[in-house]
Amino acid sequence: MLNPTVFDWAILLLFLGVALGTGLSLRKSIRTSRDFLQAGCSLPAWVSGLAFVSLGVGAPEVIAMGAWGAHYGLQAAQFYLLGAVPAMLFAGLYLAPVFHGSGARSVPDYLRLRFDGRTRTLHAALLAASAIVTSGVLLAVAGRVLQALGVFDGLFFVLGWPMRQTFLFSIVLLAVVVLAYVLLGGLAAAVYNQVLQFLLLVAALLPLVYLGLVNIGGWAGLKAAVPAAHMHLWSGILHGGNAMGLDAVSLVLGVGLVLGAGYWCADFRVMQTAMAAESAESAQRAPMIAAIPRMLLPLLVVLPGLIAIGLPTPRTSMQVREQNGAIYHDTTVVPKQVEAGTGLVPARVDPASGQVQYDAAGHAQLDYALAMPSLMGHYFPTALLGLGIAALLAGFLSGLAGNLAAFNTVFTCDLYEAHVRKGESDKHYLLVGRLATVAGVLLSVAAAFAIAHLHSVLAVLLLAFAVVNAPVLAVLLLGVFWKRATAHGAFAGVLAGAVVAVLHHGIALPAGAGSGVHGGWIDPMLHYSGDLALGLYGGIAACSVALVVAALVSLLTAPRAAQELAGLVYSLTPQASTASRPWWKRPQTLAALILLAALALNIVFA
């Protein structure tokens, strides 16, 4: 439980004021739908880069990676060094220049330009639905976390409100704040607040890691305090699987290719920050700028989990002291779930009975999701705790704003303008974009309450990814690099991949899970170690089928003339050529240096 003081609340209010002030300051610059939906395509490379990396390191990821750091150790860093950095470099070198140079307003719009309206509409509909579901998950997780940490308990106690309503209050607060600044400043407000979120995150987690390492005895003390397997990045992979239940195939193809490239290369919610850059060169540099801090983020989000599990477990104790002839007994009472935990990671408590939960072997089940918040509550003094809570709130707002900005763009440009009202004035589409923002927030809140009862939202997120991102990744790669790819092939590929993802989810089931949201609702013929493995293999299947179907159908249908593909295919995009620059100024040189640094980190922690 976190107990913010008046000073902490002052920092929280200051952060919320800055977030709203950002939208208010940009209000006068919103004159056209392009200003609102695309930030006027005027963002500097460094702003686009920091916003790019911020979208992948929101509060749910910080909490999840802290939990995985406590549970699995450095193996959680595989999602950064393998699942992000190579894909971000690829996006910067090859995809961002094509997307920006094509003049597309969104990834679905690029599919229209490269293929046809059918593929654009199919992907736009899937992407809009995915954005709402993901926003609902973010709000539901935010409500759970803020309620569990008791962030607003003091406020509710003072006002006399029932404590059970803190979940509702958290969801409504975040929804109202993000709605206000996106309505005022559009995509630009969302992007600049994402930059603010990233800076807050670094400012909050750097002292947390420093204090934890000093207290545990440095790197040597950390190695001595945690299980040996926790300190090896690639432990278990060569022997059939790692602690996360991933084998070499799901790790390399799932995390490294489909999940990494599907998110950082094919997801418009991320790519929109690069597509809104001021030039093709800035768009190309943005993902590579983002790859640098992304490579170092495991030190900020994974290490706290390791530290939390390695610190001494608090115990109820009593100290006897004598003062002025009187004997005093100072008793420190530790909650039972904390005393039954390991380190600062408390045991899981049954919400119905309030009792600590134990497994079949009699060991307390640890609530790893509280590793990061528990470390914050342990180390952060007054004011610094407010900074930590502000960073968590900013992380939730950042992800929600990214989804909302993508939803209003896709709805306005790729669905409404294309199929409902063509040829209207720009003011009309600006109004539609703002109304879509309001509708997106309301639908997200409704989705949050629908998802709130689920015990695991990971299965929902992975299914959405497999249905939406994995198929379009295959089609985008064909469209950008293969002039022979056709409109019929693209549509068939996206549709086939989405269907395969749904069918795979229906016939697969994680170990120990019941049929339903986790899968197996048709007939559980396939079995996986967990939700993560099931989701990754679902993405692999969807991407593979989409690639094969799109390629085969393209070979059987007539392609477009080469002159019609100028600016839409990498080899025919002038902005993608860097041969005239000195070698040290070429983006390939920067990408190679970043990749070498990532490989060095892999070797150090292997």
Q: Dump pLDDT digits (tens) for 397-421.
A: 888 999 999 999 999 999 999 888 8
What is the structure's pLDDT at 307?
Answer: 93
Work out the percent of the chain whose per-residue pLDDT is above 70: 95
Read off the pLDDT of each residue in 373-402 and give the average, rounded to a whole number: 83
Within 324-432, strands assigned E span 326-332
Q: Which amino acid would we find at residue 296?
A: L
Say whether 509 sits in a helix, a strand or coil.
Answer: strand
Read off the pLDDT of each residue in 150-161 and give the average, rounded to a whole number: 81
Read off the pLDDT of each residue in 245-271 and give the average, rounded to a whole number: 86
What is the structure's pLDDT at 580?
Answer: 64
Read off the pLDDT of each residue in 357-381 and give the average, rounded to a whole number: 82
> What is the average pLDDT value for the chain, to the nearest integer?
87
The whole-angstrom separation of Cα 106 and Cα 109 is: 5
For helices 59-72 and 303-310, give the axis angle rounded to 10 degrees: 50
What is the structure's pLDDT at 326?
Answer: 75
Closest residue by Cα to residue 529 from 505, 504, 512, 514? 512
What is the structure's pLDDT at 383?
Answer: 64
Say whether 43 sits in a helix, a strand or coil.
Answer: strand
Q: How confident is the model at residue 352 (pLDDT cuts 50, 70, 90)?
A: low
The whole-angstrom separation of Cα 212 and Cα 594 is: 28
* Domain ranges across the chain: 1-453+575-606, 457-572
What is the structure's pLDDT at 195?
Answer: 92
For helices 268-275 and 117-149, give the axis angle rounded to 10 degrees: 110
Stronger pLDDT, 405 or 451, i.e. the higher one: 405
What is the structure's pLDDT at 88?
Answer: 92
- Predicted TM-score (pTM) above 0.75: yes
Stronger pLDDT, 383 or 14, i.e. the higher one: 14
Q: Give 511-535 pLDDT, tens digit per residue.
A: 878 888 888 899 889 999 888 889 9
Is residue 474 scored above 90 in pLDDT? yes
Within 200-351, strands assigned E span 317-323, 326-332
What is the structure's pLDDT at 376?
Answer: 84
DSSP state of 362: S
What is the structure's pLDDT at 472?
Answer: 96
Q: How far is CA 312 from CA 315, 446, 467, 558, in A?
A: 9, 42, 44, 68
Backbone angles phi, psi at 332, to 5 degrees: -110, 115
Is residue 577 scored above 60 in pLDDT? no
Sort 35 into a burial class: Cβ within 10 Å, 0-12 / 13-18 / 19+: buried
CATH of domain 1-453+575-606: 1.20.1730.10
Closest residue by Cα to residue 260 from 58, 501, 475, 80? 80
Contacts (Cβ under 8 Å, ≥6 apart) of 48? 191, 273, 274, 276, 277, 282, 283, 286, 289
Q: Give 541-576 pLDDT, tens digit per residue.
A: 999 999 999 999 999 999 999 889 988 999 887 755
What is the structure's pLDDT at 347?
Answer: 86
Q: Give 62-87 pLDDT, tens digit per residue.
A: 888 888 888 888 888 877 777 888 99
Are β-strands 508-510 and 526-528 bridged in parallel, bridged antiparallel, or unpaired?
Answer: parallel
